[in-house]
């Protein structure tokens, strides 16, 4: 009889401990939200005097990319800023821009969802966009 009580008591104790463990470890598995406060705004980005190629890139960027990546590539609620340490050439080389524009990007760094391929964009359109982004990145110490 006594033995049975001890076994029963242990089972209850284990169940309680398991409950405590579960509630403390499973409360926030979703990770931290995108830190919007730390992201640039179109006003906080320094836009240098752009080269002629970058000016061409800016026009294409504004027509094809800014709807998601924002004015001055500062980001919107549809897409991340490209004036960001993630996208410096050491981490996202120029070909990453070509692939992104032509084939799209599966969501991986952020929570904006995936980037669809940009319809009708050509390599010749993308190169000046890269020049535009790199010139702004450099002016912002990236």
Q: Which two tokens stand for residue 88?
A: 């410096």
Residues in the interface with ligand HEC (CB under 6 A) total 25
CB-facing half-sphere around the CA of 85: CA atoms within 13 A: 3
- Rule CB under 6 A: choose which of 96, 127, 139, 142 binds ligand HEC: 96
In 3D space, the residue among 68, 64, 44, 48 whose CA is nearest the CA of residue 132 turns out to be 48
Q: Kindly state the smallest distance separating residue 70's Cβ from ligand HEC, in Å.
A: 10
Q: Kindly state the smallest distance separating residue 37's Cβ from ligand HEC, in Å.
A: 19
Question: Taking contact as CB under 6 A, which single stretch among the options 7-15, 16-24, 27-35, 103-111 is the one that binds ligand HEC?
Answer: 103-111
d(CA 80, CA 88): 13
Question: Taking contact as CB under 6 A, which single stretch among the options 14-22, 24-32, 41-49, 110-118 is the one that binds ligand HEC?
Answer: 110-118
Q: Kindly state the smallest distance separating residue 99's Cβ from ligand HEC, in Å.
A: 7
Q: Measure Cα distances from 92 to 15, 82, 97, 131 in Å.
A: 49, 10, 8, 13
d(CA 129, CA 56): 8
In 3D space, the residue among 79, 87, 77 whose CA is nearest the CA of residue 133 turns out to be 87
Between 90 and 108, CB nearer to ligand HEC: 108
The residues of the shown chain that bind ligand HEC, judged by CB under 6 A, are 64-65, 67-69, 78-80, 92, 96-97, 100-101, 105, 107-110, 112-113, 115-116, 118, 121, 129
């Amino acid at each position: 009889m006594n033995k049975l009580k001890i076994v029963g008591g242990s089972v209850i104790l284990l169940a309680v401990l398991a409950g405590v463990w579960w509630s403390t470890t499973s409360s926030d598995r979703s990770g931290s939200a995108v830190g919007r406060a730390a992201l640039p705004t179109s006003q906080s980005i320094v836009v240098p005097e752009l080269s002629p190629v970058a000016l061409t890139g800016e026009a294409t960027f504004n027509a094809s990319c800014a709807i998601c990546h924002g004015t001055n590539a500062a980001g919107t609620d549809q897409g991340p800023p490209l004036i960001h340490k993630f996208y410096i050439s050491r981490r996202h080389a120029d070909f990453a821009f070509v692939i992104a524009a032509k084939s799209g990007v599966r969501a991986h760094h952020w929570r904006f969802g995936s980037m669809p391929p940009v319809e009708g964009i050509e390599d010749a359109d993308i190169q000046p966009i890269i020049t535009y982004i790199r010139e702004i990145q450099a002016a912002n110490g990236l």
